[in-house]
Amino acid sequence: MVKVPTSRVDKLLSSMGYGSRNEMARLARAGGITLDAAPLRDVSKRIPVTPDLPARMKIDGEALDPLAGLVILLNKPLGMTCSHKEDGPLVYDLLPARWRRREPAISTIGRLDKQTTGLLLLTDDGDLLHRVISPRRHVKKTYRAKLARPLDGTEGALFASGQLMLEGEDKPLAPAELAVVSATEALLTVTEGRYHQVRRMFAATGNHVEDLHRERLGGLTLPDAMAPGQWKLLTDAEIALIFA
Ligand code: URA
């Protein structure tokens, strides 16, 4: 039999960023927390934390946020940083403010540069995060690069060679696939996530990346209708596509 975890209501809600335990006790006394449409006034009560809880519990009339184990697909806009700490706009600003207080914390799965756009995943699931970024898993990431100068035709073989050594590194890059779109545009698929990897790969050929957009990660792509800054939660089937 599978054992269902239980939690005190105040501890659960506080870990989901709704406020301190005292604030949850006050909200409950005021009737702001309901379970199956009935006010839940005693937040010291332990309740089973089942997957259907977000559909059954309301906080100030709103459905409870997703429980731990969430995976977010975001279309990262230009100019936002994948960091919890830096100054300026952060990708976390695009999510509900209370999610910044969730425990375990939500983090990006790998990073995109401030000037890179496109498919970014975030999760509070540390195991999943490590599985996606582990070089041993070879999860493919495809980037659309717009270049300052025309390709010279040698890049594909160099990137595929497994011999390209980036400046300041002591291990060559794993083979990567280049698909030429036009003289100054290409799709590059890599399996590693080294610092500024795609920009540095093109720099090694004497070129310069002007625009960089991640289109694909494993078997996941951005839905057409998802504008920059928009996000959605992934279903289990979509999460499985990462490793497809
Ligand atoms: N490679 C880069 O150079 N930048 C990114 O953001 C991702 C891959």
Task: Compute, in angstroms, the gap from residue 54 CA to the centroid of ligand 1.
Answer: 36
pLDDT at 3: 85
Q: How far is it, in rounded angstroms, from Cα 176 to Cα 194?
A: 13
Nearest CA to ligand 1 atom 4: 196
The answer to whether 18 and 9 have CB atoms below 8 angstroms apart is no
Ranges of the chain with pLDDT below 70: none
- Beta strand ranges found along 16-127 (DSSP E): 33-35, 38-39, 46-48, 57-59, 62-63, 71-76, 107-108, 116-123
pLDDT at 135: 86
Task: Compute, in angstroms, the gap from residue 11 CA to the centroid of ligand 1.
Answer: 39
Tell me the residue type at 86: E
pTM: 0.95
Topology agreement, domain 71-134+219-241 and domain 141-217: yes
- List all residues whose CB is within 6 A of at least one atom of ligand 1: 112-113, 116, 143, 196-199, 212
Catalytic center residues: 113
pLDDT at 180: 98
C-alpha distances in angstroms, 180 versus 92, 138, 151, 211, 215? Answer: 34, 22, 8, 15, 15
Fold topology of 141-217: Alpha-Beta Plaits (3.30.70)
Tell me the CATH class for 6-63: alpha beta
pLDDT in tens, 46-80: 999 999 999 999 999 999 999 999 999 999 999 99
pLDDT at 201: 98
pLDDT at 4: 87
Indicate the domain borders of the chain.
6-63, 71-134+219-241, 141-217
The answer to whether 7 and 49 have CB atoms below 8 angstroms apart is yes
pLDDT at 173: 97
